[in-house]
Amino acid sequence: MITGVYSAMTAMDAAASQHEVIAQNLAHAQMPGYRRMAARHQSFEAALDAEQQAAYSRESMGSGEIDRVIDFSQGTMERTGRTLDFAIHGEGFFVVDSPDGEALYTRNGSFHLNGDGELITAEGLNVRGANGIINVPPDIDTGSLSLLHDGTLRAGEREIGQLALVQFEDKSVLERRGVTLFAAPPAVNPGQGGVTVVQGTRERSNVQPVHELVRLIAGMRQYEAAQKTLQSLTDAVKDHIQLNQG
């Protein structure tokens, strides 16, 4: 009976955690470059190594831990025609500077120019170029800017700079540092080259709202079922105690 109570409680925890993940995805479904979160359920037994498992009952002990992972699959491309909207096709990231100079990585290429002509993100972070900050001279009309697929930014025949474009062999090492920003561990160095970028286009988030809503409904049903099971088990325990006391 105690095992049943544990199973019901962990199932409720799993459903609640899933609800949090889905709510976050839906809240940022319209944010360019956002990468959805996914919740992976791991059974209690699977979390133990073979040696530890021998000391525990093989009977099911609930849904276990929730492992939250980032889904880095490609989002759909949306044509905007805006000169400073860039999108990466396939693998890769833009590189931006955090306020303290740390390299951060993003798929959100909807950029702007600040008062000094520096290419920045919507949050005001400088976009890194291959040779430092990209600065558009004041005599350049932004409408005349063109971008080559390798990230080279030009105004007519004049080269303005080249976007720093990188990719990671193992994206699972990246940690979220904001809605669309990611950081890599100090020991991990991204690879250079092999990244294709297009202009006048932005990459939408990879959240599919209908699929998230289906998961939300399924999670709510799971929570309700576990809650009813827990209530039934609690009532059974109370009856058992009263019977023994009688």
HSE at residue 12, side-chain half, CA atoms within 13 A, is 14
Domains of the chain by residue range:
1-72+207-244, 76-204
Residue 150 and residue 148: Cα distance in Å, rounded? 5
* pLDDT for 239: 61
123-181 pLDDT, tens per residue? 999 999 999 999 999 999 999 999 999 999 999 999 999 999 999 999 999 999 989 99
* pLDDT for 188: 95
* pLDDT for 63: 47
What are the φ and ψ backbone dihedral angles of 42, each rounded to 5 degrees?
-125, 125
* pLDDT for 81: 96
63-84 pLDDT, tens per residue? 445 678 999 999 999 999 999 9
Residues 85/145, Cβ–Cβ less than 8 Å: no
What's the CA angle centered on 213, arms 207 and 216, to 5 degrees?
115
Q: Measuring CA to CA, which residue among 53, 61, 45, 168 is closest to residue 107?
A: 168
Q: Measuring CA to CA, which residue among 88, 61, 91 is closest to residue 77?
A: 88
* pLDDT for 7: 65
Between residues 177 and 220, the one the model is more confident about: 177
Between residues 88 and 210, the one the model is more confident about: 88
What Cα–Cα distance (Å) separates residue 177 from each residue in 77, 131, 192, 242?
23, 24, 22, 53
Which amino acid is residue 7, in one-letter code? S
Residue 121 and residue 152: Cα distance in Å, rounded? 18
Strands across the sheet containing 191-192: 175-176, 181-183, 103-106, 93-97, 165-167, 191-192
